[in-house]
Amino acid sequence: MAEAGPRVGGRSASFASIVARRMLKNPFALWGGAVVVLLFLVAALAHFISPYDPSAVDTGIILRPPGAGHWLGTDELGRDVLSRMIYGARISLMVGFVSIGIATVIGVIIGAVSGYYGGMTDEIMMRFVDVMLTFPVFFLILAVIAILEPNIVNVMIVIGLTGWMGVARLVRAEFLSIKERDFVVAVRSIGQRDALIIFKHILPNAMAPVLVSATLGVAGAILTESALSFLGIGVQPPTPSWGSILTEGKNYIEFAWWLSLFPGLAILFTVLGYNLLGEALRDALDARIN
């Protein structure tokens, strides 16, 4: 028993290096990682790299096309689109990470308890998950946001509270397998508490699929926020978000194409970047791949 810890730690470190090498060799991982890092840098440095105040109105340059001084043009109020896009990246990251953080915490707790205890506890919890999965998630979000005040906090909370079911099922499946392994039987035999066994011994070994799911989930959350903002019940003006810029541009799409093109491309490449990174991470964590 005394020597088990170092050996497990050694294997973990070795596997981490294998995963890192696989990621570095995967061009999709590099492209996806580059997009994610760029988005982080843009969001973190928005105050320094934004050429204008994103809320500054200038009626003298309304709907000016892309060119010198305003590289992505201006909107119907004369606001610089590039500046609003840069600050909109902050909204996308905040919504993506906070909402997926909420969903992951809920899913991990429910999946861990269900998979560890099994029996009637597992049956009740999984039937609840099945019931939640029967609801069309996006329409459920629409209904809740329509009842509540549409703002960024409510958007993040609602997306998180409606996106945990997949994580719960992944964690449950991992727990059902891992709880029968020798090291879990050993720590259970010496009388350790269930909570300690769940969160210290089993959960760290069950996190690989959760990390993949969370990475892919960030892309889905960003897309959902953009869709809600496009429909006018997401992030509210004057706070800039990519979805709200799209909404403002749809009325001028025939002659102000840049208001729809640039935020649409930003959403496309961001979601694609997270999906590429998530798929590459899934392949890198697969022990069956040499």
* Confidence at residue 290, expressed as pLDDT on a 0 to 100 scale: 55
pTM for the predicted model, two decimal places:
0.86
- 249 by Cβ neighbours in 10 Å (0-12 / 13-18 / 19+) ranks as buried
Closest CA to 257 of 56, 64, 54: 64
Tens digit of each residue's pLDDT (9 = 90 or more) over 209-238: 899 999 999 999 989 988 888 888 888 888
Q: Is 11 domain-assigned? A: no
Question: Does the bond joining 238 to the residue before it have cis omega, within 30 degrees of 0?
Answer: yes
Tens digit of each residue's pLDDT (9 = 90 or more) over 144-170: 887 887 788 888 999 999 999 999 999
Q: Is 6 domain-assigned? A: no
Q: Is 236 domain-assigned? A: yes
Three-class secondary structure of residue 63 per DSSP: coil
Number of domains observed in the structure of the chain: 1
User: DSSP letter at 65?
Assistant: P
Closest CA to 134 of 99, 172, 162: 162
Q: Cα 54 from chain centroid?
A: 25
Q: Is 13 domain-assigned? A: no
Closest CA to 107 of 203, 38, 2: 203
Residue 262 belongs to domain spanning: 18-55+79-285
**CATH number of 104's domain:** 1.10.3720.10
Q: Is 210 domain-assigned? A: yes
Q: Is 4 domain-assigned? A: no
Burial readout 159-186 (b: 16 or more C-beta within 10 A, e: otherwise): bbbbbbbbbbbbbbebbbebbeeeebee
Q: Is 66 domain-assigned? A: no
Q: Is 83 domain-assigned? A: yes
| Whole-number Å distance between alpha carbons of 283 and 278 | 9
Tens digit of each residue's pLDDT (9 = 90 or more) over 1-57: 333 443 444 444 577 788 888 899 999 999 999 999 999 999 999 999 999 999 999
